Structure 1
Amino acid sequence: MTLAKLAATVEARRDADPEASWTAKLLAQGPEKCAEKFGEEAVEAIIEAVKGDTARLTSEAADVLYHLLVMCAARGVTLADIEAELTARETQSGLEEKRSR
């Protein structure tokens, strides 16, 4: 599944029944709960990265991407918005971008 397809699925589930869709349930709980869940998944990915378990890291990284998209959707930020930001940064080195903050 591509990120675009995953983002479209998240958006499509926005109005689904929270009893029938995990995504709808998360979104119904609000942006704060979505952010909390994203944080939990990010920590789990960090733990697997430190442990060196690549299979578990891969699984946790997929969870992180999913929960990132849900968290962003809860605040009205789309994958297209994120891609536009990344595109805007293409002409700037990472070091330059960090200095500009």
Structure 2
Amino acid sequence: MNDPSATPREHLLAALAEVIDERRSADPERSYVAKLQARGLDAMLKKVGEEATEAVLAAKDDDADALVSEMADLWFHTLIVLRARDRHPDDVLDELARRFGLSGVEEKAGREVAGQRSDK
């Protein structure tokens, strides 16, 4: 695996997904990802919730450095959940690309018509 710090930004999410995949089966005593994986989906989801809350608090406190740090933690933990559900960051990027250029109102209406959850 290449050094993620040397990975171009446009490939960073894919590189992180690869690292997460490698570490999921590692020794939980030596890998945070493996430890979280061993604890199960509920533990992973709890971490996403915790990191989201910390990001919200940093934004409310107008602490730009803390906000960036907490968002990095949040993104990382959401990548762990994606991989636990056999999804890839490219799936999310594809969805964002699909929505690009749509107004939020139009996009939400399209989900309602399609029978998707619209309470987001």
Q: Fold match, TM over 0.5? A: yes
Structure (1 or 2) with the larger CA radius of gyration: 2
> How much does 1:43 deviate?
0.2
SS of the residue 2:27 aligns to: coil
Structure 1 equivalent of residue 47 of structure 2: 37
2:86 aligned partner = 76
2:73 paired residue number: 63
Instruction: Map Cα deviations across residues 25-70 of structure 1 (whole Å, 9 max, x no partner).
Output: 1111111110110100000000000010001111101100100101
Q: Which runs of 5+ in 2 are unaligned?
A: 6-11, 112-120
How many residues get paired?
A: 101
Aligned to 1:85: 95
Alpha-carbon distance in 2 for matches of 1:98, 1:18 = 40
Q: Look up the match of 1:25.
A: 35
Distance across 2 between alignment mates of 1:94 and 1:8: 32
Kindly provide the amino acid, as one letter, of the partner of residue 29 in structure 2: E
Q: Which residue of 2 aligns with 1:9?
A: 19
What's the C-alpha RMSD, in Å, of the aligned pairs? 1.4
TM-score by structure 2 length?
A: 0.77
Counterpart for residue 9 of structure 2: none
Percent identity between matched residues is 44
Runs of 4+ in 1 over 4 A off after TM superposition: none
> For structure 1, which runs of at least 5 residues remain unmatched after alignment?
none
Give 1:91 shift. 4.7
